Amino acid sequence: MCGIVGILGTHEVAPALVEALRRLEYRGYDSAGIATVNEGRLDRRRAVGKLVNLSDLLVHDPLAGKSGIGHTRWATHGAPTEGNAHPHRSGPVAVVHNGIVENYKDLRAELARHGLTPHTDTDTETIAMLAQHHLDTGMAPVEAAFATIDKLEGAFALAFLFDGEEDLMVGARKGSPLAVGHGDGEMYLGSDAIALAPMTNRITYLEEGDRAVLTRTGATIRDAEGRAVTREVRTISMDAARVDKGGHKHFMAKEIAEQPSVLSDTLNAYLTQDGIALPGPGIDFAALDRLTITACGTAYLAGFTAKYWFEQIARLPVDVDVASEFRYREPPIPPRTAALFISQSGETADTLAALRYCRDKATALYGVVNVPESSIARESDLALPIHAGVEIGVASTKAFTCQLTVLLLLALKAAEQRGHLTPEARDKVLAQLRALPGVLNTALGRDQHIEAVAQELAEARDILFLGRGAMYPLAHEGALKLKEISYIHAEAYASGELKHGPIALIDQHVPVVVLAPRDGLFEKTVSNMQEVMARGGKVVLITDAAGAESAGAEAWKVIQMPEVPDLLAPILYALPAQLLAYHTAVAKGTDVDQPRNLAKSVTVE
Ligand code: F6R
């Protein structure tokens, strides 16, 4: 949520700042801005809307300088106007910020007593004002930045730039990620390594509370207590930092298409000849009485699906909740309960807070993450990477199927350890899993037909999704995906719940997408489908050949998936749900990769 970058360069930095912001735009795209120091003078340019507006502005009104900071915004405090866009400036200080300063009103009141008044609606401006105030009292820039950071409550990743200081940048991290990049005679700051990838692959991830002082010759880092600390410089794989659409029209299309291959990577990381190998010390599921799963959005729906797997095949009771509710409900955590957190970014503020809540209460903390250096990965007792590769599209697709795959492997491991799965039965499922990437490829072959169905769905104002068993969470995922990128109102219900109220919504204008492979629950779902059709409802049935044969004739549209064992169906059926949402959004002409009001990494609560 918001992307920040900083460069102490050897050439003009404006183009490199804009390129870095382009790579960070997935974090927010309400407005963007840069500030530089040129011949000792601090100056800035800002523009509302997508980054392209800032680059256009820079053509007409360039900004010179070899030191600079930049920001792409997802508005929290104050509307997305030019005045509220970052960098924020107060006298000789410019600041970019990702996060929320919770005590900004108190700080404003304090600053007013020193004659400093705000000009924007943002919390961030207060940081620049506070730094200016500290400079006014005679502090040197680094001292002023540190004194400012000490006063901030909330979450932040920050970069400071000072008038008259061409070889100085100060960064800080608390609650929001920040990386230091090491170049040749250049130094960088960025919200993630992807932003810095065109400039360097040598990265230091700052830890919670760290402050970094950068000059062109290097960085000195202090921890929250002010002690000088050494943090590892890692060389990151450039592959991991690739951000191109690979010939696809949208990142989302590319990421949907990548699923067979990334799912193979996930499986390869966890499967050996002897079965399922978890990283590090692994997990002793036999020692657990309960698992509590917490996440947000799509990651939560992966957890919700996993509840069915853990309970059915491993007989392990699972509580699953959205992190924003869990953390404030403060639930008791019974003994012998492990807590598992799922997050693509590994930085979602509510999920991280839920993890911290569980720290001294749960038997162990497990993180199912896509970004191995993320906060959730680092603060978990054991991080379980999903190996989906960088996901840029704001709507999560490949991360979801890779999360599901890791969760299914965990459920199988649990079933084995708890005596509910023989080695033979396990090997059979693992063989089916190894064949799954091929099945996903076949499903992707139905793309054109799904696109044709989507053209018709694009006319609807409301759409319902139904599913039973493990297809129920998937119905939620289908509805979430559709509403977030096509802006069509969509709701999901458990098929059996329809007649307890929602059936009142059914008429010929409300298409109903039914996710129903021909499994043990199929006939029951078909009965619910009949209830919909009896009321004039138009059913899009997503099923397999046997399901289409038995119930397809009555449906308005049928999307036929390849056959797959019941256990694996949620992973496969995610694909038509994603493709339906994607093509509906394209048909409606929305901004698929950057839907309105959203951002990929939600680092505020
Ligand atoms: C929806 C989507 C979001 C995220 C949610 C959690 O397509 O992407 O609902 O799943 O914001 O994000 P992570 O997984 O990064 O914690």
Ligand 1 lining (C-beta closer than 6 Å): 296-299, 343-345, 348, 351, 395-396, 480, 484, 602
2, 296, 358, 402: the catalytic one is: 2
Ligand 1, closest atom to CA 344? 14
Q: Which whole number is the average pLDDT over 237-248?
A: 73
Helix (H) or strand (E) holding 477: helix 471-486
| Residue in 321, 345, 371 to alter for ligand 1 test, most ligand atoms within 8 A of Cβ | 345
pLDDT in tens, 520-550: 899 888 888 888 888 889 999 999 999 999 8
Q: Is the pLDDT reported for residue 493 higher than 90?
A: yes
Structure tokens at 434: 């190894």
pLDDT in tens, 134-172: 999 999 999 999 999 999 998 899 999 999 999 999 999
pLDDT value of position 529: 87
Give whole-number Cα distances, 135 to 68, 103, 132, 138, 308, in Å.
20, 21, 5, 5, 58
Length of the chain: 605
Q: What's the burial of 379, exposed, middle or buried (CB within 10 Å: 0-12/13-18/19+)?
A: middle
Q: Tell me the CA–centroid distance for residue 105 and ligand 1, in Å.
A: 30
Q: What's the burial of 38, exposed, middle or buried (CB within 10 Å: 0-12/13-18/19+)?
A: middle
Contact 75, 81 (CB under 8 A): no
Top pLDDT among 530 and 569 is at: 569
pLDDT value of position 432: 97
Give 113's contacts (C-beta < 8 A, 6+ positions apart): none
Q: Tell me the CA–centroid distance for residue 256 and ligand 1, in Å.
A: 15
Q: Is the pLDDT reported for residue 17 higher than 70?
A: yes
Contact 44, 89 (CB under 8 A): yes
Question: What is the amino acid identity at position 380?
Answer: S
Could you tell me which residues are beta bridge partners of residue 5?
A: 70, 190
Q: Following CA atoms 53, 56, 57, 63 in sequence, which dihedral angle do they give, to the nearest 10 degrees?
A: 120
- Secondary structure (3-state) at 145: helix
Q: Tell me the CA–centroid distance for residue 352 and ligand 1, in Å.
A: 13
Residue 369, phi-psi category: left (phi > 0), alpha (psi -120 to 50), beta (remainder): beta
Structure tokens at 82: 């030019």
Contact 177, 157 (CB under 8 A): yes
pLDDT value of position 71: 97
Ligand 1, closest atom to CA 297? 9
Q: Which whole number is the average pLDDT over 83-102?
A: 94
Structure tokens at 231: 């943090």
Q: Is the pLDDT reported for residue 604 higher than 70?
A: no
- In eight-state DSSP terms, residue 294 is E
Structure tokens at 387: 């190996």
Q: Is the pLDDT reported for residue 349 higher than 80?
A: yes
CB atoms within 10 A of CB 369: 30
Q: Is the pLDDT reported for residue 565 higher than 90?
A: yes
* Predicted TM-score of the model (pTM): 0.81
- Secondary structure (3-state) at 446: coil
Average pLDDT for the chain:
94
Question: b vs e for 268-280, b when ≥16 Cβ sit within 10 Å of the residue's Cβ?
Answer: ebbeeeeebeeee
pLDDT value of position 83: 92
CB atoms within 10 A of CB 456: 15
pLDDT value of position 499: 85
Q: Which whole number is the average pLDDT over 383-391?
A: 94
Contact 184, 9 (CB under 8 A): no
CB atoms within 10 A of CB 536: 11
For the beta sheet containing 489-494, the strands, ordered from the edge strand earlier in sequence to the opposite edge, are 489-494, 462-467, 511-515, 538-543, 557-560
Q: Is the pLDDT reported for residue 87 higher than 90?
A: yes
Instruction: Give the integer Cα–Cα distance in Å for 421 and 490.
Output: 38
* Percent residues over pLDDT 90 in the chain: 81
pLDDT value of position 65: 97
pLDDT value of position 241: 61
pLDDT value of position 306: 98
Top pLDDT among 241 and 215 is at: 215
pLDDT in tens, 301-346: 999 999 999 999 999 999 999 999 998 998 999 999 999 999 999 9
Q: Is the pLDDT reported for residue 605 higher than 70?
A: no
Contact 415, 400 (CB under 8 A): no
pLDDT in tens, 180-216: 999 999 999 999 888 999 999 999 999 989 999 999 9
**296 is a catalytic site residue:** no
Which phi and psi angles does 275 have, rounded to 5°? 130, -140
pLDDT in tens, 251-300: 999 999 999 999 999 999 999 988 999 999 999 999 999 999 999 999 99
Instruction: Give the integer Cα–Cα distance in Å for 99 and 211.
Output: 16
Ligand 1, closest atom to CA 394? 8
Q: Taking Cα atoms as reference points, which of 56, 54, 59, 67 lies closest to residue 8?
A: 67
pLDDT value of position 96: 97
Instruction: Give the integer Cα–Cα distance in Å for 133 and 116.
Output: 8
Which phi and psi angles does 406 have, rounded to 5°? -65, -40
Q: Is residue 395 very low, low, confident or very high in pLDDT (cuts 50, 70, 90)? A: very high
Kindly give the pairing relationship between strand 337-343 and strand 365-369: parallel
Q: Taking Cα atoms as reference points, which of 5, 20, 8, 23 lies closest to residue 65?
A: 8
Q: Tell me the CA–centroid distance for residue 138 and ligand 1, in Å.
A: 45
Structure tokens at 451: 């696109």
Could you tell me which residues are beta bridge partners of residue 140?
A: none
Q: Is the pLDDT reported for residue 505 higher than 90?
A: no
Q: Tell me the CA–centroid distance for residue 61 and ligand 1, in Å.
A: 37
Residue located nearest, by CA, to atom 8 of ligand 1: 396
From the CA atom positions of the chain, what is the Rg in Å?
Answer: 25
DSSP code per residue over 297-365: HHHHHHHHHHHHHHHHHS---EEEEEHHHHHHH-----TTEEEEEEESSS--HHHHHHHHHHTTTSS-E
Q: Is residue 603 very low, low, confident or very high in pLDDT (cuts 50, 70, 90)? A: low
Contact 7, 181 (CB under 8 A): no
Ligand 1, closest atom to CA 351? 16
Could you tell me which residues are beta bridge partners of residue 67?
A: 8, 37
Residue located nearest, by CA, to atom 3 of ligand 1: 297
**413 is a catalytic site residue:** no
- Secondary structure (3-state) at 380: coil
Instruction: Give the integer Cα–Cα distance in Å for 281 and 528.
Output: 46
Q: Taking Cα atoms as reference points, which of 396, 428, 448, 424 lies closest to residue 593?
A: 396
